[in-house]
Amino acid sequence: MTFDLVIRGGTIVTASDVTKADLGIRDGRIAAIAEHIADGERVIDATGRLVLPGGIDAHCHLDQPQAPGLASKGAKMADGFRSGSISAAFGGTTTIVPFCVQHRGTSLTAAVDDYHRRAEGQSVTDYAFHLIVSDPTPAVLGQELPALIRRGHTSLKVYMTYDAMQLSDRQILDVFETAREEKAVMLIHAENHEMIGWLADRLEKQGRTKPVAHATSRPLAVEREATHRAVTLAEIAGVPLVIVHVSGGDPLEEIRRARARGHVVIAETCPQYLLLTEADLEMPDMLGAKAMCSPPPRDTAAQAALWQGIEDGTIDIFNSDHAPYCFDQDGKLKAGPAASFRAIANGIPGLETRLPILFSEGVVKGRIDLPRFVALTATNNAKLYGLHPQKGTIAVGADADLAIWDPEKRVTITNDILHHNVDYTPFEGLEIQGWPETMVSRGEVIVENRELKAAPGRGRFLTQKTSSAWKTREINAWI
């Protein structure tokens, strides 16, 4: 009984344990975990290294079609499945879950077919799709969604803002109802559209159109109100709800309150809310556009509140919200070099820097331990989005998706070391300790010695099972 690959002498970390053991991999899956494993066809020496489950980035945007009225403001996404998944892999991630978007007046099923075509032959990592519902017609609610959920798309997202995406409270309840009947998990972008529009109109009238006005038009109260409304709608409909990209203490407080009432509400945050502030949008000329995302980065008090949420278990998932727009005329500057903040694409890149940032700022700085790091970046996403135990853990029978980390390696983040197609990183100059050096996906080494070893197209589409959030009504028992 021989193994295709043996990883020897490493420290294995899961969401619950840190142990020293060897791993034996056969046919793409973990076949043995033991004190010592005899030679396989190939042996990787992981002495002094951490062996972690490959990361899962369950919030990223890749190759979404261009259209006005969206977060993109008609700009072109710089990354598709090829460069996006390569960038993810170099940053320690082996599974990505981008969003398949329904545009109004079109069928959701057609959007899924189109997104499969966009992914075909491109990805180096495995992938699933969340579905964004922007037009919940009777046909979408009654036929398309139930069929798509049964085909393995068990996570759906709705927006409370953006002209072309926003749903009314009543429409959100309609989608939630279908989600309850079919046991899908709901994700929501929670910002109050009317308040943003009113504030943005006033700012423009006052001539305040620079990128920083983007933050002024979307204060934390806008997010707090929408978060409160979103969890209330979920309570009424009886569905588990994921609040994506929580940016500060006030919405987190609403989430804690909903949980205290007994509802399954899951909170996500992203690197930009821990590292950036509104001051990053105040850079001269249009440079502040490089830090424009929604919700916007806040202040140091918000950062502290988010770290508190990560430490006390209010925040359970950590994703990038990678939304790749270059700082050029196809991307951030599409509406011109002096455009109003309202015409600038919202979103920043982050697939490759997500894990190193949380490792360095969280684990190395002593804010979280290694199992919590794995839970936040892999295991909880796998459970929540119906990919566990195939993905997100190190266990016999699981896919051999692994990230072998050098916990001592020091790296200064600069855009030229990254593999995305975006021409900047908002984390330029950030000093990091700890970096994933060897990546394994289904037993195949895909990144080694800073080189890509995998062919685009090897990544497989994953059908999602029912979310763990549906398996219990107990608070936090889903993880």
- DSSP helix, strand, coil percent of the chain (3-state; round to 5): 35, 25, 45
174, 321, 361, 399: which one contacts Zn ion (CB under 5 A)? 321
CB of 215 to Zn ion, least distance (A): 17
Residue count of the chain, please give it: 479
Q: How many residues bind Zn ion (CB under 5 A)?
A: 1
Matching residue, tokens 């072309």: 164
Question: Whose Cβ is closer to Zn ion: residue 51's or residue 323's?
Answer: 323
CA distance 357 to 363: 10
Q: Which stretch binds Zn ion (CB under 5 A): 156-164, 283-291, 321-329, 470-478?
A: 321-329
Closest CA to 362 of 479, 427, 271: 271
CB of 276 to Zn ion, least distance (A): 16
Q: DSSP assignment, residue 187?
A: E
Judged by CB under 5 A, which stretch of 75-83, 169-177, 319-327, 461-469 contacts Zn ion?
319-327
Tell how many helices (H) and how many strands (E) occur in the chain: 14, 18
Tell the smallest beta-carbon distance from residue 196 to Zn ion (Å). 16
Only one of the segments 107-115, 320-328, 413-421, 444-452 lies at the binding site for Zn ion (rule: CB under 5 A); that segment is 320-328
**Given the complex with Zn ion, which of 49 and 157 has the nearer CB atom?**
157
Dihedrals φ, ψ of 405, to 5°?
-100, 140
Please list every residue from 137 through 166 that binds Zn ion, using CB under 5 A: none
Candidates 305, 286, 306; CA nearest to 210 is 286
Stretch that binds Zn ion, among 253-261, 315-323, 373-381, 414-422 (CB under 5 A): 315-323
Nearer to Zn ion, 321 or 401 (CB): 321
**Minimum CB separation from Zn ion for residue 373, in Å?**
22
* Cβ proximity to Zn ion, 278 vs 321, nearer residue: 321
Q: What is the DSSP string of 414-433?
A: -GGG--SS-S--TTTT-EEE
The residues, any chain, with a CB within 8 Å of residue 289's CB and separated by 6 or more, are: 211, 281, 327, 332, 333, 344
Q: How far is the CB of 60 from Zn ion (least distance, A)?
A: 8
Task: Tell the smallest beta-carbon distance from residue 390 to Zn ion (Å).
Answer: 25
Contact 403, 13 (CB under 8 A): no
- Residue with the closest Cβ to Zn ion? 321
Given the rule CB under 5 A, which of 22-30, 76-84, 314-322, 459-467 is the region that contacts Zn ion?
314-322
Q: Which two tokens mark 89?
A: 């892999």
Nearer to Zn ion, 321 or 444 (CB): 321
φ and ψ at 272, to 5 degrees?
A: -60, -30
Q: Candidates 11-19, 176-184, 313-321, 348-356 — which segment interacts with Zn ion by CB under 5 A?
A: 313-321
**Shortest spacing between CB 180 and Zn ion, in angstroms:** 24
Give, for 23, the enclosing helix (H) or strand (E). strand 18-26
Query: To which residue do tokens 């933050």 refer?
Result: 215
- Least separation in angstroms between residue 97's CB and Zn ion is 11
CB-CB contact of 182 with 146 (8 Å): yes
Q: Are 190 and 251 in contact (CB under 8 A)?
A: yes
280 near Zn ion, judged by CB under 5 A: no
In the complex, the residues that contact Zn ion under the rule CB under 5 A are 321
